[in-house]
Chains A and B, each alone.
Chain A
Amino acid sequence: MATVEHKGKTFNVDEDGFLTKGMEEWSEEWVDYVKSIEGIEELTDEHRKIIDILQDYFKKNGIAPMVRILSKTTGFPLKRIYELFPSGPGKGACKMAGLPKPTGCV
């Protein structure tokens, strides 16, 4: 288990840089940190919208939404999601939102 320091805050992360305690440890500083490593130049309302929706969905359902549902609820086609998060909805957006690391046959 590693730790990351950013703007005076300390975060517990796994090897892939996902928050080990998820949204419990999530904060604005975390968002800023992920922005700096995930190829995101400027954080916009569109980024915020995706993060909010991911977090709401996770709180309600205990899982991350399927890509199709994320597209539908945000109104962003997948292409736009990659423009916002170059690593994609899993490695990029879920990481920034503090969701657990995607699993399965990735």
Chain B
Amino acid sequence: MPKHDTPLMDELEKGPWPSFVSDLKRQAEKSPQCWDIVGQMELSYKDRMTHWKHGGIVGVFGYGGGIVGRYSDVPDKFPGVAHFHTVRLNQPSSKFYRTDLLRKLCDLWEKRGSGMTNLHGSTGDLILLGTKTEELEPLFYELTHDLEWDLGGSGSNLRTPACCIGKARCEWACYDTQAACYAMTMKYQDEIHRPAFPYKFKFKFSGCANDCVAALARSDLSAIGTWRDNIRIDQAEVKNYLSGANKANGGGTPAKGDKFDIQKEVIDLCPTGCMWMEGDTLKIDDAECTRCMHCLNVMPKALRPGLDQGASLLMGAKAPILDGAQLGTLIVPFIKMDPENEFEELVDVIEKCWDYWMENGKNRERLGETIQRVGLPTFLRVMEIEPIPQHVREPRSNPYVFWREEEVEGGWQRDIKEFRKKHAQ
């Protein structure tokens, strides 16, 4: 496949940031079809529109998802991308790799596809960009048999779960996010590979409220680590921050003034105002602390999460289509996340939710929209969760309150004649 004339794309080789165009051209030395990626893209830049056809249904036997089919609408000009299917591979938790595995994968992908990848897709998958239909089964065979690697999810199913780096390299992780992510991925393989839901469903696992995997904003079920006892304070290290021996924010953000000012940078910024100094001793009224992470983020050497750790479960986050964007809504304030019992409490919540949503969710209705349609009180009832003040940011302001008949003395069956005996017309 020959090179194309690509003046617009060539512009993107300038500047300091790693250029995807230079990378594509380098890969084209080995996989000539990459010239056609650059070529078709140039055409799209010129026409200001995509040159991929609508949709595409391809896959491997046994699975209902994992591969996103795609065809060029100008295949005569760019035969190298006539078929350009994308293969989603379920990434290891937190994306730690060994080079030997990546080398094997690259060799396989250069043999069976374009050699272009996306590391990684937003959901987490390692994405292989661009291959032909007839390569899919052989690729899948070699992936599973030689690399022991499986596809990720696509379609109306459980998509590939993802997690923050967690206990692997972070002192704030309140549960083992990688263990939870891996355990749920393995437990729900069927739900990942064979679409059985009204619509897509995503899990994400963050070890604390910093939420490095953005679970709150981009998963239908977000498990966000927290603790329910007291923040552990090392007063000696607090003094090291006061003296300047410890750098605030791990040195990440320079102190605002010449010197670290605990009053200005921590105490006055605590959202609940539950911190104060007594001499050079830091005090926290933990009953009023909302575990926002700010003070820990500023003084990581002095402050640590409590020891009674677990996670909050928030549900329903989604992008705008159809009824508007949603972040997760707090459903379960605290559960234990225990690998020993295979995350039993989490599994219980997941399965109650799926039982209800699979039966009651409308076609292409995300969980967040189902909750809005049936109402949070109904959803909590089917989840067998007692409503508590933590379920709302503020109580409703309109008086359109529904009561269930059994809650109202006398029920709904009333006789107008009885009423008229007391109220003549």
Using a CB–CB cutoff of 8 Å, the interface residues on chain A facing chain B are 15-16, 18, 39, 63, 66-68, 78-79, 82, 86-91, 95, 101-106
Please report whether the interface of chain A is mostly helix, strand, loop or mixed according to DSSP.
Answer: loop
Query: Of residues 58 to 109 in B, which have CB atoms within 8 Å of A's CB atoms?
Result: 58-59, 61-65, 68-69, 71, 83
For B65, what are the chain A residues with a Cβ–Cβ distance below 8 Å?
106
User: Contacts A68-B358, A78-B194: A88 and B59 contacting too (C-beta < 8 A)?
Assistant: yes
Q: Does B359 contact A (CB under 8 A)?
A: yes
Q: Does B39 contact A (CB under 8 A)?
A: no
- Residue among A67, A101, A104 facing the most chain B CB atoms (10 A cut-off): A67
Please report whether the interface of chain B is mostly helix, strand, loop or mixed according to DSSP.
Answer: loop
Question: B55 and A82: CB pair below 8 A?
Answer: no
Q: Does B56 contact A (CB under 8 A)?
A: yes
* Additional A-B contact list (7), CB under 8 Å, known A16-B56, A91-B64, A106-B69: A15-B83, A79-B190, A82-B64, A91-B59, A104-B364, A106-B68, A106-B155
Question: A87 and B56: CB pair below 8 A?
Answer: no
- Bound CA–CA A89/B65 (angstroms): 11
**8 Å CB contact of A82 from B57, B58, B156, B194:** B194
CB distance from B151 to the nearest CB of A (A): 13
Question: A86 and B154: CB pair below 8 A?
Answer: no
15 A–B pairs (Cβ distance < 8 Å), ordered by A: A15-B53, A16-B69, A67-B156, A68-B359, A78-B196, A82-B62, A82-B64, A82-B194, A87-B61, A90-B57, A90-B64, A90-B155, A102-B55, A103-B54, A106-B57
Using a CB–CB cutoff of 8 Å, the interface residues on chain B facing chain A are 53-59, 61-65, 68-69, 71, 83, 154-156, 190, 194-198, 200, 358-359, 363-364
Question: B363 and A66: CB pair below 8 A?
Answer: yes
CB distance from B101 to the nearest CB of A (A): 28
For A103, what are the chain B residues with a Cβ–Cβ distance below 8 Å?
54-55
- Bound CA–CA A103/B56 (angstroms): 8
- Bound CA–CA A106/B54 (angstroms): 12
- Bound CA–CA A66/B395 (angstroms): 36
- Bound CA–CA A66/B71 (angstroms): 26
User: Contacts A68-B359, A106-B154: A16 and B58 contacting too (C-beta < 8 A)?
Assistant: yes
- Bound CA–CA A102/B53 (angstroms): 14
Question: B57 and A68: CB pair below 8 A?
Answer: no
CB distance from B185 to the nearest CB of A (A): 19
- Bound CA–CA A89/B56 (angstroms): 15
- Bound CA–CA A106/B159 (angstroms): 11
Question: A105 and B200: CB pair below 8 A?
Answer: yes
Query: Which 10 pairs from chain A and chain B are nearest by CB?
Result: A88-B64, A86-B61, A16-B57, A39-B61, A78-B196, A106-B155, A15-B71, A91-B57, A66-B363, A103-B55
Question: B64 and A101: CB pair below 8 A?
Answer: no
- Bound CA–CA A37/B359 (angstroms): 33
- Bound CA–CA A78/B196 (angstroms): 7
Question: A68 and B71: CB pair below 8 A?
Answer: no
